């Protein structure tokens, strides 16, 4: 099994990603770490606790950064809801979590995994940036980093930048430069990995509490995507999780990627060198550019179908 830490900011699609990851026998979820992003870190941590409770899981949760490394926090609560849970009302389980910080847990677990740990980061990269700054040997201990973030082309916060990178561009650039291969599931692929109203309803019809949560948490987002003229709600964070386990559903290209941290029009852009004459010396990343949407949706359905069967 692949030992993973899922670093996230639940978040509606983060919630969907956790629901899917938990049903993958290929994954050994060593921890879920939380970060400020879609909403503040108190809320993302509470939402992680809610999801864990719905899963009946016992992976540890470690709280991470309250704000980006060098900037004030920008949130996406207009999309994810004031509490970051898509308007779904659910009490926060009264459980304590460890005092250990997300970045310390990432380092400790990476050491325990002897170079096998895969870090899946689907929120702003702040915890990853802090871990890299604090622990110089961390890159040697990580097998790879799979992210939802960035885009070779375009953006969703600005014309140039995707949310997770825009929120903490310095942390993201540290990650791209750290020497660990970064697999970038950006908007190029995640906008193709959408679920239509019918597909989402089909999952909800499975009737388990987990399937219901998957469907309910994404409902408001679905309406937004449809109002923007899209065919369905983008399953951004699930795409990164599925890519980790089922790369054969996706197409990816090696590339050099750096993050723009200064440009007034391009702040947070993942400057992606797919075609130029090796402007970037190294191919530090794999840029995921395509997905077989039908097979992807089939997998999502099959995974969600497993709830209630065990
Ligand atoms: C990303 O931003 C967040 O709002 C989502 O959870 C996802 O990780 C999409 O740009
Ligand atoms: Ca996210």
Tell whether the model's pLDDT for residue 310 goes beyond 80. no
| Beta-bridge partners for 233 | 195
The per-residue pLDDT for range 43-75, each reduced to its tens digit, is 999 999 999 999 999 999 999 999 999 999 999
* Cα(169)–Cα(194) distance, integer angstroms: 26
Give the C-alpha separation, 269 to 271, whole Å. Answer: 6
Query: Is the CB of 122 within 6 Å of ligand 1?
Result: yes
* Mean pLDDT score across all residues of the chain: 97
Q: Which of 225, 237, 242 to mutate to test the pocket of ligand 1 (most atoms within 8 A of CB)?
A: 237
pLDDT on residue 274 = 85
Report d(CA 31, CA 62) in Å as an integer.
7
DSSP state, 247? G
CA of 135 to the centre of ligand 2 (A): 24
pLDDT band (50, 70, 90) for residue 283: confident
Sign of the CA dihedral with 153 first, then 159, 163, and 168 last = positive
Band (276; pLDDT cuts 50, 70, 90)? confident
Cβ-contact 217, 16 below 8 angstroms: yes
Q: Answer yes or no: is the ipTM higher than 0.85.
A: yes
Cβ–Cβ under 8 Å, residues 149 and 121:
yes
Confidence (pTM) = 0.98
Q: Which ligand is located closest to the Cα atom of residue 76?
A: 1
Distance CA 129, CA 176 (A): 10
Q: Average pLDDT in the 178-199 region?
A: 98
- Model confidence at 278: pLDDT above 70: no
Active site residues per annotation = 236
- Ligand 2 centroid – CA 5 distance (Å): 14
Q: How far apart are CA 296 and CA 89, in angstroms?
A: 29
Task: Read off the pLDDT of each residue in 16-30 and give the average, rounded to a whole number.
Answer: 98
Spatial contact of 173 and 209, defined as CB atoms under 8 Å apart: no
Q: pLDDT for 118-171, tens place per residue?
A: 999 999 999 999 999 999 999 999 999 999 999 999 999 999 999 999 999 999
Q: Which 3 state secondary structure label does DSSP give 281?
A: coil
Q: Residues 206, 221: contact at Cβ < 8 Å?
A: no
* End-to-end C-alpha distance for the chain, whole angstroms: 19
CA-to-CA distance for 80 and 38, rounded, in angstroms?
7
Candidate of 18, 148, 268 to mutate for ligand 1, largest count of ligand atoms within 8 Å of Cβ: 148
> For residue 240, what pLDDT is reported?
99
């Amino acid at each position: 099994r692949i030992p993973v830490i899922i670093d996230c900011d639940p978040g509606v699609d983060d919630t969907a990603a956790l629901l899917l990851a938990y049903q993958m026998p290929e994954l050994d979820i060593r921890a879920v770490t939380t970060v400020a992003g879609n909403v503040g870190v108190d809320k993302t941590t509470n939402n992680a606790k809610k999801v864990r409770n719905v899963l009946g899981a016992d992976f540890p949760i470690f709280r991470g950064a309250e704000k980006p490394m060098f900037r004030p926090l920008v949130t996406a609560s207009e999309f994810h809801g004031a509490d970051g849970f898509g308007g779904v009302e659910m009490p926060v389980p009264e459980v304590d979590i460890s005092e250990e910080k997300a970045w310390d847990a990432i380092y400790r677990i990476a050491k325990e995994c002897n170079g096998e740990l895969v870090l899946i980061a689907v929120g702003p990269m702040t915890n990853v940036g802090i871990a890299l700054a604090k622990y110089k040997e961390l890159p040697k201990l990580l097998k790879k980093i799979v992210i939802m973030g960035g885009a070779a082309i375009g953006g969703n916060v600005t014309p140039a930048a995707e949310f997770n990178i825009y929120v903490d561009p310095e942390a993201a650039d540290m990650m791209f430069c750290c020497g660990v291969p970064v697999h970038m599931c950006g908007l190029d692929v995640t906008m193709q990995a959408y679920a239509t109203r019918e597909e989402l309803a089909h999952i909800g019809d499975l009737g388990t509490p987990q399937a219901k949560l998957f469907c309910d948490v994404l409902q408001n987002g679905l309406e937004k995507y449809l109002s923007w003229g899209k065919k369905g709600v983008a399953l951004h964070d699930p795409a990164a999780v599925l890519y980790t386990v089922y790369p054969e559903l996706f197409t990816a290209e090696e590339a050099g990627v750096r993050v723009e941290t200064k440009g007034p029009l391009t702040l947070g852009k993942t400057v992606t060198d797919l075609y130029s004459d090796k402007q970037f010396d190294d191919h530090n990343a794999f840029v995921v550019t395509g997905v077989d949407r039908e097979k992807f949706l089939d997998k999502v359905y099959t995974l969600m179908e497993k709830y209630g069967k065990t």
